[in-house]
Amino acid sequence: MNGRNTPIGRIIMSVLRTPQPEEAAVLSDLCLRSKAIWGYDEAFLEACRPALTLTADDWTDSDLQVATDGERIVGLAQVRGSGNHVELDKLFIEPEARAAGIGRRLFDWCVAAARRRGATVMTIDADPGAADFYRRMGAVDDGVVASSVIPGRFLPRLKVDLGSGTTA
């Protein structure tokens, strides 16, 4: 548990837990609201919707974790893949719960989940707005990758070396 002031001035005491498949719709809505903070238009967000929609498969082929503020879910993280290389697939914080340290806590959970999966490298195909957050977390740039949503759009790829036991 931790507590830090958010931009709206309220301290959030977040607790991490594994979500349930019944919460898929709530989590998908959270992802879309969170993505929208970067000022994307409706058409772009609609194009992103399939990629941000969780289904029952997410509970069988990936690791999921949510941060809660009381009964409310305020953040989601997802790690998928096996072998040496896994991917941080989702990290989304409820807009009014940003800047409270929840992103860092869920990022640290992703690193631990990646290690549990036996990986030595975790990659992140980042929203451009979030790339500096990942750099702040110790991730390093590893080129760019074509967006699966918008043809011709490229995203920064970052990676975390897990082999050394640090996130640097």
Q: Are the CB atoms for 63 and 80 separated by under 8 Å?
A: yes
Strand order in the sheet with 2-5: 2-5, 11-17, 62-69, 72-80, 85-93, 121-125, 154-161, 140-146
Stretch that binds ligand COA, among 54-62, 97-105, 113-121, 139-147 (CB under 6 A): 97-105
Contact status, residue 110 vs residue 22, Cβ threshold 8 Å? no
What's the CA gap between 160 and 79, in Å, rounded?
A: 13
**Considering the rule CB under 6 A, would residue 54 count as an interface residue with ligand COA?**
no
Q: Which of 48, 66, 86, 130 binds ligand COA (CB under 6 A)?
A: 130
The answer to whether 49 touches 85, Cβ cutoff 8 Å, is no
For ligand COA, which residue of 98, 113, 139, 162 counts as binding (CB under 6 A)?
Answer: 98
Q: From residue 78, give the alpha-carbon distance in Å to each of 7, 41, 63.
A: 25, 25, 6
Q: What DSSP designation does 100 have?
A: S
The residue among 21 and 101 lying less far from ligand COA, judged by its C-beta, is 101
Instruction: Please report whether residue 47 would count as binding ligand COA according to CB under 6 A.
Output: no
Give min distance, CB of 67 to ligand COA, in A. 9
Q: Which stretch binds ligand COA (CB under 6 A): 14-22, 44-52, 93-101, 109-117?
A: 93-101
CB of 45 to ligand COA, least distance (A): 12
Spell out the SS3 assignment of 38-56.
HCCCHHHHHHHHHHHCCCH
Binder of ligand COA out of 48, 54, 100, 113 (CB under 6 A)? 100
Which residues, numbered 63-92, are part of the site for ligand COA (CB under 6 A)? 91-92
Give contact residues for ligand COA (rule: CB under 6 A).
Answer: 34-35, 37, 91-93, 98-104, 126-127, 129-130, 132-133, 136
